[in-house]
Structures are given as C-alpha cells and as structure tokens.
A and B are shown apart, each in its own frame.
Chain A
Amino acid sequence: MGKLRQVGAASAPAAAPTGRLGRAVRRGWVILPAGLALAVPLFLSAYGVHVGIVALYYAVLGISWNLVAGYTGQFSLAHHAFAGLGAYASAGAVLALGFPVWAGILAGTLAAALSGYLLGSLTLRMRGIYLAITTWAFAESFRILLSVNYQVTRGDMGLTVPLLLGTLDPLPNYYVFVGLTAGTLLLAAAVLGSKVGLRIRAIRDDEEAAAVRGIDVVRWKKFIFTLSAAVAGLAGAVYGHYIGLLAPSQVRFTEMAFIIIAVVLGGFRSFWGPVVGAVVAEGLAEALRLSGEVRMVLFGLFVILLMRAYPAGLVGLLSALGRRLGLRPRP
C-alpha cells in the first residue's frame, strides 16, 4: 500500500509551495498557462468563455477546500454551502439593504467567513466521520431552509440579483475570475509557505502530536476553516452576480461531490491539483461534448481509479512525466 502513502509524501515540507510557486514562476512554468488563460478566451465563443469562468469558479472552490481538507485534514462537506451562503448573503445585502454589488460581495464573504468560524468551532473535537457528517448535515439543512423559506429567498423559483459588471457578456467577467483565481493561488501559497502552513500540515498528520509540540490546534483549525469558507463565500458571491440568478440547487450535495472530484482528479493535497482538476473536469468535458451524466460517470470512475491506484492525480502524473523527461530534478 505504498500507493496510499504516496499522497502524504506529495506535499512533504521539503518543497514548500511558495518555494514551489516561486520556483514555478522563475522557471517560467506559470507563464504558459497564465498566458493561455489570459489570451485564449479572446478567441473563444461566448459560451466557451463561460465554460472558462465555470472552470475557474470550481478551481477557486477547489483550492480553498483543499486548504481545509487536503492540507489540514478536516474533510469538510459544507464547502458548497459556504459558496451558496456568500451568494445569498450578497443578494440579501444588495436587494434588501440597497448595497452596491461590490459591497454585497464583501458582505457575502464576511457572512461565509463567520459561518466558517462557527462551524469550525463547533466541529473542533470531531474527527473524520463525525466531521464529515456534521458538515454535511449543516449544508443540507441550509439547502432545505433556502428552499422552504421561499417567501424570502424565492426558493426554487430563483432569485434574480444585479449583475457583476452590468453585462451578461462573459468576456469581461472572465477576467474578474482570472483575478480571483490568481488571488486565491497567491493567498494559498502565502498560507502554505508560512509557519501557518507547517502548523496545519502538522495538524493533519497527527493532531495529538501537533498539540504536544505546542501548536494551538484549536486556533489554527478555526483559522483555516474561516479562511477557506471566506474564499468560498467570495467565489460564490462573485459567481452569483455573474450568473444573475441564484437557486437552492446550487447547494445540492452534487456540487460538493463535483468539488471533491475536481480536486482529486487534479491531485488531492497538491498545490496545483485543484486548478488542474477543475480546468480539466470542466474544460475537457465541454470540449468532448459529453452529456452531463456521461461526464459524471467518467469522473466518478476516474476518481475511483485514481484513489485506488494513483492518488497523486494529474499533477502527480505531470510531475512524473516532467521528471522522466529530465525537466525537473529527481526528488
């Protein structure tokens, strides 16, 4: 079962991500994808650009979830709910209190952060299964509350919200999402490369040992929960204002499943995994014109195969390829 252990080794402190990000930038690895990300949409149809936005949205959700689940070992199943909370809170601020859209997004982010803090605090002593079930229960309850209180939220009829940039044209919105993704990557790199990053990894590897070594487990768990929830809320609010319509179906469990799938496809617990996974999952699926159901069958299959045989995911595959081609030094 060395294969299962490989996952732990993939993010050994020896190559801290800022170092990795920094090295990647220095080596120019980032230039090509970044260039593509900036230039390609100019040549795509409006629908193609929209697909890019959706991919980036899930990338941001994936990166933030990876922080709390992959790096801190808290397998939260409420991430999609934080995104939904951010979206609906922003809608509430804008529609009911008359905030401008950017202020609404800020409000949404804060609301999600607060919920992340509360949920993190409540689940402090929970491990593995209990944590998963509790977060799942909160997410499902949230969805039901949104749906049943349709007088306030318009439930499944959909809540129309003002547009982000005043236009439905995907292209300008796309660059907002590029900025959002870049910002999230920088934030993740900063966290992971700092002492906080070491602390959360220690918590994941062995919570008791970390506590014994003087790490304030409580504080850092709460911190990472709050931070990742805030990012999710931000992404959810921005996405909500881009689409212009909110519905409780965005908080269904299938959304969380997709986040997990995207992250695992890319490489759970790797820095670039969520981005690669989200882009591949969304982009490739659209390019191949696979129907929604066929997509999910294939993704489910791939995830199962990956977890079983090659947990390092696509990023791991690319790394190995790079090593073999002599482009990267052997570890």
Chain B
Amino acid sequence: MGQLPQVVAAGLMMGALYALMAVGITFIYSLMKMINWAMGEFYMLGSYAQFVLITLVLGPSLWFLGVPLSMVGVFLLGLAIQKGLLAPMFGPEADRRDEYATIVTIALSVLMQNLATILAGPYQWSPPEYLPLVTAGGISVNGSRLAAAAGALVLLGAFYFLVRRTWLGLAFLGAAQNRVGAEVAGIDVRRLDGLAFGIGVALAAAAGALLAPVFLVYPTNGAVSTVKGFEIIVIGGLGSLTGSVVAAFLLGLVESFGSVFISPAYQDLYGFVFLIAMLFLRPQGIFGERERRV
C-alpha cells in the first residue's frame, strides 16, 4: 500500500498535537487530582488569542511569536481561575472534591463557550497558513500542520525539561506523588497548584494557537481537544505524563489507520473504542498505577 507512509506520517503528526493537549490535563490531574472539563475552552482561548495577535499585531510571518504570547495570557487567566474557583477544594474540610471540580469546570466550560459566542460571534476564522504545503518523498503535508507538530514537539521538550531538570519541576513531581509529604518538606503546595493549573491550561492554549489555521477558530473548537485529551489520559494512565505522550501518538496512529483502512466516517469513534477497551482491560492505563482511595 503506497498510502502507508502518508498514513503513518499523518498519525504521528496528529499524535504530537494530541500530546500537547493531553499533557496539560494530566499535569493538572497529577497535582490536584481533578479533571478540568473546561480544557477545550482554554484551547479555544488560545486559538482566538493567536488569531487576534496575528491579524492585528504580528502579521502572518511572525505567527510563532503569537504562540508564547497566547500562552502567557491564558496562563495568567488560569492562575486567576484556579485561585478563585479551585483553591477552596483543598481546604481542611473539603468534601466531595471530585463532584465539586466536575460541576465547576463543566459550568466554566459552558460559560466560556457561550461568552465566546456572544463576544466573537459563531463565525469561523483562520489565520493565514503558517507554512506552505510541504511535499517530500511522495507525501504532501499541510504546512501549518507540520509547523504545529514541530511547535508541539518543541513545547513538549521544554515541558520535559521543566519537569525533570528544574527545581520547580521536581517540586511538582514530589507534590504529585505525595502531597502531604511535599508540604512537610516545606513546599508551598498551594502555590504549586496555581502554577500547575496555569501551565496546564497554557499548554492547551498553545495547542489552540498552533492549530488555529488547521482546525479553525470558533467558539466550540475546543471539543476536539477535550475529547481527544480525555481519551488519551485514560489510555495513557491518569497522572502519568509519559503515558499521555505515548498514548497520544498511539491514538493518532489508531485514528489514522482506522480511517484509511476501515472507514473515515467512524473516525471519532476509534478513540472511544480504544478508551472503553482500555477501561475494561487495563483501567489504570498503559503507564498508570492502580490507586486505592478510602
């Protein structure tokens, strides 16, 4: 099958982008043990920020500057939201934390989507393509998609560096493994919560900014990010960053192969089937650990 290289390339590229979406969710979960159902909306914010920056300020050739700028903006917003809404979850008498987080983040997602529709209208926008069409070895690849995948790899690399090699990253890992232990060791876990949330949503915003010309900019474009992100974190193992990355590439490949060799109409279903299968065969995911909570 001459299509094989194209299918694999497509799958891997999407995998890089999915990884960016999922890593943010996992990072937040590992520290705060909550799932942020509004991740897709932060993706959406990132895409709008990028579009506005390119159109009004930077111009099409400086698109790569828009990405970090969008990230910073959304990071700050994330900090504010975490402080206002989510910090109370960790007070001394916090009860039914999961429910609280789920309800609040779902409400946040509804609020953000509709606010975006009111402010920006339901129209779809797109900045100009980041790179022209790239053809190599018989495969042609959308330039923006390639640029986005490259950007995703760069950001994932930077994130890896942050988590494994900096003091802050070690603090995150420590607090994720054992919150009380980290506190005892003198780490301000609450500040870490805020930073983690901010970084997590900034990563989602980065994905949105990178993918603005690929998946377009409109109020509900975050759905893709949420859906794929959740599938990946469960498949990879809740709380495992490596798992998220691996699962993201796997999902990209599964979808690509499924679409070409089975049917493109079911494309979004392959991820769900994969997810549900994982939940029953190995619920902790590929790299996750079984958790006992009483």
A308 adjacent to B88 (CB under 8 Å): yes
**Number of chain B residues whose Cβ lies closer than 8 Å to a Cβ of chain A:** 47
Minimum CB distance partner of B33 in chain A:
A129
Q: Tell whether, in the assembled complex, residue A4 and residue B272 are in contact, meaning their CB atoms are under 8 Å apart.
A: no
Residue of B nearest to A208 (CB): B294
Surface stretch bound by A, among B43-51, B108-116, B148-156, B240-248? B108-116
Q: Which of A133, A260, A264, A295 contacts B234 (CB 8 A)?
A: A133
Contact of B94 among A1, A136, A296, A304 (CB under 8 A): A1
Query: Does B104 count as interface, using CB distance less than 8 angstroms?
Result: yes
Find out whether the CB atom of A254 lies under 8 angstroms from the CB atom of B107.
no
Q: Which of the residues A5, A132, A137 comes within 8 Å of B102, measured between beta carbons?
A: A132
What interface size band does chain A fall in? 35 or more
Query: Would you call A331 an interface residue if the criterion is a C-beta within 8 Å of the partner chain's C-beta atoms?
Result: no
- Report chain A residues within 8 Å CB of B107: 257, 260-261, 264, 299-301, 303-304, 307
Among B99, B109, B111, find the residue whose CB has the most chain A CB atoms closer than 10 A. Answer: B99
The chain B residue with its CB closest to the CB of A136 is B230
Query: In the complex, are the beta carbons of A134 and B35 less than 8 A apart?
Result: no
The reply to whether A296 and B114 form a contact with Cβ atoms under 8 Å apart is yes
Which of B76-123 touch A at CB < 8 Å?
84-85, 88, 91-96, 98-100, 102-104, 106-115, 117-118
Partner of A134, one of B88, B98, B276: B276
B contact patch SS:
helix
Stretch at the interface among A96-104, A120-128, A236-244: A120-128
Interface membership of B268, Cβ < 8 A: yes
The minimal Cβ–Cβ distance linking B120 to chain A, given in whole angstroms, is 11
Question: B108 touches which one: A4, A145, A300 (CB < 8 A)?
Answer: A300
The CA-CA distance from A75 to B34 in the complex, in Å, is 14
- The one of A7, A126, A294 that contacts B95, using a Cβ cutoff of 8 Å: A7
Most A-side CB within 10 Å, residue of B106, B280, B293: B106
The answer on a CB contact under 8 Å between B103 and A260 is yes
Q: Does B227 contact A (CB under 8 A)?
A: yes
Distance in angstroms from A294 CB to nearest chain B CB is 6
A122 to B106, CA, bound (A): 24
Q: Mark A117-160, 1 if CB is under 8 A from B, else 0.
A: 00000100011111011101110110011001000000000000
Main SS at interface, chain A: helix
Q: Do residues B99 and A75 form an inter-chain contact, with CB atoms below 8 A?
A: yes
Instruction: Give 1 or 0 for each of A252-294: 1 = CB within 8 Å of chain B CB.
Output: 0010010011001000100000000000000000000001111
Contacts A297-B118, A303-B107, A307-B104; is A122 near B269 (CB within 8 Å)?
Answer: no
Contact A129 B98 (CB under 8 A): yes
**How far apart sit A85 and B167, CA to CA, in the bound complex (Å)?**
52
Q: Does A162 contact B (CB under 8 A)?
A: no
- Residue of B whose beta carbon sits closest to that of A8: B95
State in angstroms the CA–CA spacing of A293 and B283 once bound together: 37
A2 to B85, CA, bound (A): 16
The answer on a CB contact under 8 Å between B293 and A127 is yes
| Least CB distance, A208 to chain B, in whole angstroms | 6
Residues of B within 8 A of A (CB): 34-35, 84-85, 88, 91-96, 98-100, 102-104, 106-115, 117-118, 227, 230-231, 234, 238, 265-266, 268-269, 272-273, 275-276, 279-280, 283, 293-294
Q: What are 8 of the A-B contact pairs (CB < 8 Å)? A: A4-B96, A75-B99, A126-B279, A129-B238, A137-B230, A261-B110, A297-B115, A307-B107
Identify the A interface with B (CB < 8 A).
1-2, 4-5, 7-8, 69, 73, 75, 122, 126-130, 132-134, 136-138, 140-141, 144-145, 148, 208, 254, 257, 260-261, 264, 268, 291-297, 299-301, 303-304, 307-308
Besides the known contacts A133-B35, A308-B88, 13 further A-B residue pairs in the complex with CB atoms under 8 A apart: A5-B95, A7-B96, A8-B95, A130-B234, A137-B279, A140-B272, A141-B272, A141-B276, A144-B268, A148-B265, A264-B107, A301-B107, A304-B85
The 8 closest A-B pairs by CB, nearest first: A300-B111, A128-B98, A1-B91, A303-B107, A296-B114, A1-B93, A293-B114, A300-B110
